[in-house]
Amino acid sequence: MRVTLLGHATVLVEVGGANVLIDPVLQDPFGEGMLVACPARRVTGLPRIDLIILTGGRPDHVDVPSLARLSPDATVICPKDSRILYILDRLGFRKVRPTEPSSVIRIAAGVEVVTTQSARKAPEFGVLVKDATGTFWDPVSTALSRPIIDPVLARFGPIDLLLAGYAYPEFGYFGVQRAGFPGPFLRAAVDAAAHVAPRLIVPGSAGFRFAEPFAWTNAFIFPISPQRFVADLGRIAPALATATGNPGDVFEVGHGRVERRPGASPFVAMTADDTERIVYDPSAEVPALSDPNCDGYAAAVLEQQVAATFAELTAFLCTSYEADPAIAEQRRAGGSYGLGVVFPDGHERWLRVGFDGSTPVIAQGEGPIRGALRTTRIAASVLTARARYERGYPYPGGLTRITRINPARLVDGKVAIEPKEPPELLMHWIRVKPPGWGVHGKQVLDFQIAAALAQPSPAPLVGGAR
Q: How many CB atoms lie within 10 A of CB 68?
A: 21
Q: Just give the CATH number of 299-433.
A: 3.30.1050.10
State the distance between the two ends of the chain, measured CA to CA, in whole angstroms: 27
Pairing of strands 40-43, 268-272: antiparallel
CATH architecture entry for 2-286? 4-Layer Sandwich (3.60)
**Cβ-based burial of 436 (10 A; exposed 0-12, middle 13-18, buried ≥19):** exposed
| pLDDT in single tens digits along all 466 residues of the chain | 999 999 999 999 999 999 999 999 999 999 888 899 999 999 999 999 999 999 999 888 999 999 999 999 999 999 999 999 999 999 999 999 999 999 999 998 999 999 999 999 999 999 999 999 999 999 999 999 999 999 999 999 999 999 998 887 666 776 765 555 667 778 888 999 999 999 999 999 879 999 999 999 998 888 888 998 999 999 999 999 999 999 999 999 998 899 999 999 999 999 999 999 998 888 899 999 999 999 999 999 999 999 999 999 999 999 999 999 989 888 887 789 999 999 999 999 999 999 888 899 999 999 988 888 889 999 999 999 988 888 876 667 789 888 877 767 777 888 877 666 778 888 888 888 888 777 888 988 999 999 999 887 655 565 544 4
141-194 pLDDT, tens per residue? Answer: 999 999 999 999 999 999 999 999 888 766 677 676 555 566 777 888 899 999
How big is the CA angle at 117 (ends 138 and 161), to the nearest 5 degrees? 25
Extents of the domains making up the chain: 2-286, 299-433
Residue 342 pLDDT? 97
Angle made by CA atoms 366, 316, 300, in degrees to the nearest 5: 45
Going from the C-alpha of 408 to that of each of 371, 418, 462, the distances in angstroms are 15, 7, 64
The 3-state DSSP class for residue 151 equals: helix
CA atoms within 13 A on the CB side of 275: 17
Contact 381, 302 (CB under 8 A): yes
Per-residue model confidence as pLDDT tens digits over 46-92: 999 999 999 999 888 999 999 999 999 999 999 999 999 999 999 99
- Check residue 457 and give its pLDDT: 60
Give 294's DSSP letter.
Answer: T
Q: Return the pLDDT at 418.
A: 66
Entry field: residues in the chain: 466
Q: Tell me, yes or no, if the pTM score tops 0.85.
A: yes
- What three-state secondary structure class fits 284? coil
Phi-psi region for residue 171, left (φ > 0), alpha (ψ -120 to 50) or beta? alpha
Whole-number Å distance between alpha carbons of 118 and 390: 31
Half-sphere exposure of 212 (CA within 13 A, CB side): 0
Interacting residues of 87 by C-beta distance below 8 A, sequence separation 6+: 62, 64, 67, 445, 449
The pLDDT of residue 465 is 45
The β-bridge partners of 161 are 136, 200
Look at residue 50 in the predicted model and tell me its pLDDT: 95
> What whole-number distance in Å separates Cα of residue 62 and Cα of residue 67?
8
How confident is the model at residue 178, as a pLDDT? Answer: 55
Rounded CA separation 224/42 (Å): 24
pLDDT at residue 12 in the model: 98
C-alpha to C-alpha distance for 443 and 99, rounded to whole angstroms: 25
pLDDT of 464 reads 47
pLDDT given for residue 408 in this prediction: 72
Largest Cα–Cα distance in the chain? 75
109 C-beta neighbours (distance < 10 Å), count: 9
The dihedral through the CA atoms of 65, 68, 71, 72 has a sign that is: positive
pLDDT at 134: 96
- Dihedral of CA atoms 194, 198, 202, 206 in degrees, nearest 10, equals -60
Closest C-alpha to 352, from 22, 360, 329: 360
pLDDT of residue 205: 80
